[in-house]
Structure 1
Amino acid sequence: MLWGGLALCVLLGGELGAVTAGFANLGTRAAVGLIVAGLVLAPWTGLAGFTVLHRVLRRRRGLHGPPVMETAAAKIEAVREIREGEEVLLQLDLTVAPATRPAYRANAGVDVHLSEVNDYRVGHVVVIDYDTARPWRIVVRKQPGADWAARLAAIRIDTAPPTTRRTAPHREHLGTAPLYLTATTAGLLASLWPLWALCS
């Protein structure tokens, strides 16, 4: 699958090379054919190549497919009001304490009624669901359920250090772009000389 994506990117480079060589030699019949073929095929080849590479890299990072959610307790380290009103949006700084991995810090937002704000004070323990592949994706349970409600009072969570904070990458396709551009450039450079000779 990875090699298929790279092959599409190299092919895109070749199509761009065809357009470049064609415009540089407009006086020949072959040049017109190369320009038309390149302009027609390049957008579709480029889209297909990027899509394949992006999916392969997401799968290798464990980010492919539907989220797998697990439940854990989390201690509120800090609270900030993002929106005021009858419905208040709170941003919580949490120490999440999963059963199957070390505790870590993460932020989560929760909409609560004004009368429920006191349930989210610093030091309180709440129940959350987190995505095992993307642990920064957290949903705070406003109704934790009878089992968790009975356990919360006895749960003690030590504050995780700031170095354990998990945040979303700025853009998940950033890792795709350099590979995509490198393969496309290689195809472009490899195609220029033979296509230039064809048009001459």
Structure 2
Amino acid sequence: MGTTGQGQAGQDVDEANGQTVPKRSALSEFLVALRLTVVSAVTGAALAALVVAVIMKDVPVFLTGGGVLVVLILVGVLAGRRSPAREEPPAGRIALARIEDLRATSGESADVPVKFRLTVAPEDRPAYRVKIDQPINLVDIPAYRPRGIAVVEYRPDEPWNVRIVTRPTPEWSRRAEEAEIDSAPESTLVADPGVSEGSWCMLTLFAFLAGAALVVLLFRGELFTSGGDGEAGAKPPSSSSSSSASRTFSTSTTVSGPSASLLTFGRMRVTAMELETRVGTVYVTAITIEDHRMAVRGDSTRPVSETVHLQSLPYELFPGLVREARTTLGVRDPESWRIDVIPGTGAGAGPRVRVTVTGKEGTAHLDADATGRVTDRRAVGESG
């Protein structure tokens, strides 16, 4: 599959990497479930007793329900003060990972939260898929793009616990540049079992409702003869959704204000995120950026390889490209500029960026690749 894993160069990884934390036994899981069920049922019964007591004006029942709730609260407070000895987690391991996809979720600060989909390729186990969230500095975002290779740290006992190493050692940086990693199947996706605890939530809810229902059934005779039959006439909300598949789409946005310009640091990425929200996808077929306007076009039938990923472009480098085009291509007094981004042609080719400046002398442009590196220049008067 290409260069993966850690080898002897994982100098910053502890020797305890081979150890794993044993899973909780079946008995421990059963006791946790039993305790959760009992506490939920008693809580539901106590709250139902309070409601029933208010309706029936029964002081003993009210005191009983209130007393049980007070006991539960005291037990919870005392249990929270206990500080059980925490086991030292095993150290992480270093590996390489293929970036399948990434998406920035906001851009209000220098560190932008980014959602990654990765194929992690350890040396001691098969490659697997994982989804992570990690803040990345605005300046570093262009270094991470789909199908690129990143250095990551993962926990052998918790393979879903993955973190991108933003400042790897020179050895790992070299290995990442030389590595080629194939995408792992979607079926290998691992997730934190502590995050998807829907079964525990359902157990808690069921036990809570069962305890409340038991109290209501015990006092059903007094309840329905005391005139306290309140009808809950609220109908469950109905929701309808409609989707329209559009083969092509286009949208644009304009920044206004006397000092507003897309050349302001960070403004292009924020605007791109706004356009992404409008069109509902990060894959577009063309991007146009002017001083106060950004526009995107797309086609939902085009394959991903023939599109541009909105969040993987080095927007922070674009102002420098504009400045270079305006000062080095023979346009003495530029009147306007424009950036056009289109998909690359050929296997593995990244997006192509063209900066065009126009003035009295004519039109000139320079071309750059997906990393912001200038690949060609056409000064005023040159053909091409």
After TM superposition, the score normalised by the length of structure 2 is 0.37
User: How far apart, in 1, do the equivalents of 2:173 and 2:200 lie?
Assistant: 44
User: How far apart, in 2, do the equivalents of 1:71 and 1:94 lie?
Assistant: 14
What secondary structure does 1:158 align onto? coil
1:84, distance to aligned residue in structure 2 (A) = 6.4
User: How far apart, in 1, do the equivalents of 2:65 and 2:218 lie?
Assistant: 15
Q: Is the Cα contact below 8 Å between 2:93 and 2:153 reproduced in 1?
A: yes
1:127, distance to aligned residue in structure 2 (A) = 1.0
Alignment of 1:184-199 (within 5 A): 184-192=208-216, 194=218
* 1:8 lines up with 2:39 in the alignment: yes
Counterpart for residue 129 of structure 2? 105
User: How far apart, in 2, do the equivalents of 1:99 and 1:47 lie?
Assistant: 50
User: How far apart, in 2, do the equivalents of 1:96 and 1:85 lie?
Assistant: 29
What secondary structure does 2:181 align onto? coil
1:20, distance to aligned residue in structure 2 (A) = 4.0
Moved more, 130-139 or 177-186: 130-139
| Alignment CA distance shift 1:25-1:41 (3 Å) | same
1:74, distance to aligned residue in structure 2 (A) = 0.4
1:43, distance to aligned residue in structure 2 (A) = 7.0
User: How far apart, in 1, do the equivalents of 2:63 and 2:207 lie?
Assistant: 22
Which amino acid in 1 is paired with 2:59?
Answer: V
* 1:139 lines up with 2:163 in the alignment: yes
Q: Is the Cα contact below 8 Å between 1:74 and 1:125 reproduced in 2?
A: yes
Provide, for residues 142-197 of structure 1, a one-character-per-residue CA deviation record: whole Å limited to 9, x for no partner.
22224434533453311113343445689645332211122223333334455678
What secondary structure does 2:198 align onto? coil
Counterpart for residue 38 of structure 1? 65
Provide, for residues 122-147 of structure 1, a one-character-per-residue CA deviation record: whole Å limited to 9, x for no partner.
44322112345654443211222244
The unaligned stretches of length 5 or more in structure 2 are: 1-30, 80-85, 227-384
* 1:126 lines up with 2:153 in the alignment: no
Alignment of 1:1-200 (within 5 A): 1-2=31-32, 3-26=34-57, 31-39=58-66, 41-42=68-69, 45=72, 69-80=92-103, 87=110, 89=112, 91-108=115-132, 109-112=134-137, 114=139, 116-117=140-141, 119-132=143-156, 135-166=159-190, 172-192=196-216, 194=218
| Alignment CA distance shift 1:143-1:44 (3 Å) | farther
Larger RCO (CA within 8 A; separation ≥ 6): 1
User: How far apart, in 2, do the equivalents of 1:82 and 1:128 lie?
Assistant: 21
Identity %: 24
Q: Is the Cα contact below 8 Å between 2:97 and 2:152 reproduced in 1?
A: yes
Q: Is the Cα contact below 8 Å between 2:117 and 2:130 reproduced in 1?
A: yes
User: How far apart, in 1, do the equivalents of 2:209 and 2:116 lie?
Assistant: 45
Q: Is the Cα contact below 8 Å between 1:127 and 1:144 reproduced in 2?
A: yes
Provide, for residues 11-49 of structure 1, a one-character-per-residue CA deviation record: whole Å limited to 9, x for no partner.
2233234324423432xxxx2122133245437638978
Q: Is the Cα contact below 8 Å between 1:9 and 1:180 reproduced in 2?
A: yes
The unaligned stretches of length 5 or more in structure 1 are: 53-63
Which amino acid in 2 is paired with 1:22?
Answer: A
Q: Is the Cα contact below 8 Å between 2:56 and 2:222 reproduced in 1?
A: no
Instruction: Give the RMSD, CA atoms, in angstroms.
Output: 4.3
What secondary structure does 1:156 align onto? coil
Q: Is the Cα contact below 8 Å between 1:106 and 1:167 reproduced in 2?
A: yes
Which amino acid in 2 is paired with 1:6?
Answer: T
Aligned residues: 182
Which amino acid in 1 is paired with 2:38?
Answer: A
User: How far apart, in 1, do the equivalents of 2:213 and 2:107 lie?
Assistant: 57
Q: Is the Cα contact below 8 Å between 1:13 and 1:187 reproduced in 2?
A: yes
What secondary structure does 1:42 align onto? helix
After TM superposition, the score normalised by the length of structure 1 is 0.63
Q: Is the Cα contact below 8 Å between 2:154 and 2:162 reproduced in 1?
A: yes
